[in-house]
């Protein structure tokens, strides 16, 4: 298997990924898209456009390619080098820059590989002094607890998906609500944290699809209040973006205007006083 790293001149994250490979004795070819590798990168990009994330600031580097699999960003690349595909779901491409690394999803991967996941975090944060922003939806609370114990996160954002009675449906599987509540409580112990809820569409009992109601967002804010014992948590209510949704059932849902979030904010403020709404 031959590895190629597509990098950009001066990119710290690229240097870290290259270092991991050197430490592990893995040979690779580097193609610096700002230097001699420009043509090679363009060719690679043209052939794999769909698999490469392009954010508002352009393509995020590094890109790791082993001939079959592409991994983009520091987290996903290091995880792949460490553990192959075992850690898929824990990492995606981030959008933060400089010393910050995001795209790290505590709830996204298989908890059986918690040790490997933690090892990657240690490498990025402790060995390379990067700052980590993690997110969670409450699943894998034991991993979150270990991350807290080892001070492996600088910021944690928790997506509190909805009220207790809808949590399982919103996650897509049965959940242990005690675990969700445990995560909510843990999140407040990190150096910086924020709760957020997307006003998402839900399949109702009669089969109809409708957005979470204001009452349900109020109940979500209440869940946070009960689990944290505080009404003063930073809490953001977000808009659902049908175009970005991967669930085919919800792609046709009519998008909601920013103004429509105002009554949700009012409802949430009964239980959390620092609620803000996302601006489109």
Structure tokens at 207: 């089969």
- Give the integer Cα–Cα distance in Å for 111 and 139: 9
CB closer to other proteins out of 18 and 271:
271
What is the rounded CA–CA span in Å between residue 172 and residue 40?
A: 41
Which residues bind to other proteins, rule: CB under 8 A? 232, 259, 262-263, 265-266, 269, 273-274, 279
CA 232 to chain CA centroid, Å, is 24
Shortest spacing between CB 161 and other proteins, in angstroms: 24
Q: Measuring CA to CA, which residue among 140, 136, 133, 104 is closest to residue 120?
A: 104
Contact 172, 212 (CB under 8 A): no
Judged on CB neighbours under 10 Å (0-12, 13-18, 19+), 2 is: exposed
| Strands 54-55 and 28-32, sheet pairing | unpaired
Nearer to other proteins, 90 or 211 (CB): 211
Q: How far is the CB of 257 from other proteins (least distance, A)?
A: 11
Contacts of 224 (CB under 8 A, 6+ apart): 160, 184, 195, 233, 235, 271, 272
Task: Give whichever of 151 and 266 is closer to other proteins, judged by the CB atom.
Answer: 266
Which one, 22 or 232, has the nearer CB to other proteins? Answer: 232
The alpha carbons of the chain give a radius of gyration, in whole angstroms, of 20
Nearer to other proteins among residue 137 and residue 272 (C-beta): 272
Q: How many CA atoms lie within 13 A of 266 on its CB side?
A: 7
Nearer CB in complex with other proteins: 2/270: 270
User: Smallest distance, Å, CB 231 to other proteins?
Assistant: 9
Name residues whose C-beta falls within 8 Å of residue 177's C-beta, 6 or more positions apart in sequence: 164, 167
- The span from the CA of 178 to the CA of 186, in Å, is 12
Smallest distance, Å, CB 166 to other proteins? 23
State which residue, 34 or 232, has the beta carbon closest to other proteins.
232
CA–CA separation, 171 and 150 (whole Å): 27
Q: How far is the CB of 276 from other proteins (least distance, A)?
A: 10
Rounded to the nearest whole angstrom, what is the least distance from the CB of residue 273 to other proteins in the complex? 4
- Shortest distance in whole angstroms from residue 203 CB to other proteins: 28
Residue nearer to other proteins on the CB measure, 48 or 258: 258
In whole angstroms, the minimum distance from the beta carbon of 266 to other proteins comes to 5
């Amino acid at each position: 298997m031959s590895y190629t790293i597509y990098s950009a001149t001066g990119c710290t994250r690229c240097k870290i990924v290259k270092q991991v490979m050197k430490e592990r004795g893995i040979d690779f070819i580097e193609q610096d898209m700002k230097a001699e590798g420009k043509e090679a990168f363009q060719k690679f990009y043209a052939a794999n456009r769909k698999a490469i994330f392009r954010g508002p600031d352009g393509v995020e580097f590094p890109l790791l390619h082993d001939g079959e699999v592409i991994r983009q960003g520091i987290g996903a690349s290091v995880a792949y080098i460490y553990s192959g595909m075992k850690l898929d779901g824990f990492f995606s491409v981030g959008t933060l820059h400089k010393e910050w690394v995001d795209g790290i999803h505590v709830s996204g991967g298989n908890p059986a590989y918690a040790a490997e996941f933690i090892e990657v975090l240690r490498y990025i944060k402790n060995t390379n002094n990067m700052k980590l922003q993690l997110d969670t939806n409450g699943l894998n609370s034991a991993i979150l607890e270990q991350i807290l114990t080892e001070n492996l996160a600088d910021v944690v954002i928790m997506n509190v998906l909805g009220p207790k009675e809808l949590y399982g449906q919103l996650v897509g599987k049965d959940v242990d609500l005690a675990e969700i509540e445990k995560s909510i409580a843990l999140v407040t112990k990190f150096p910086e944290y924020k709760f957020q809820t997307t006003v998402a569409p839900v399949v109702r009992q009669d089969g109809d699809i409708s957005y979470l109601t204001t009452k349900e967002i109020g109940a979500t804010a209440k869940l946070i209040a009960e689990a944290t014992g505080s009404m003063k948590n930073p809490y953001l209510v977000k808009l659902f973006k049908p175009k970005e949704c991967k669930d085919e059932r919800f792609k046709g849902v009519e998008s909601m205007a920013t103004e429509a979030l105002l009554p949700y904010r009012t409802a949430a403020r009964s239980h959390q006083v620092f609620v803000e709404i996302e601006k489109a």
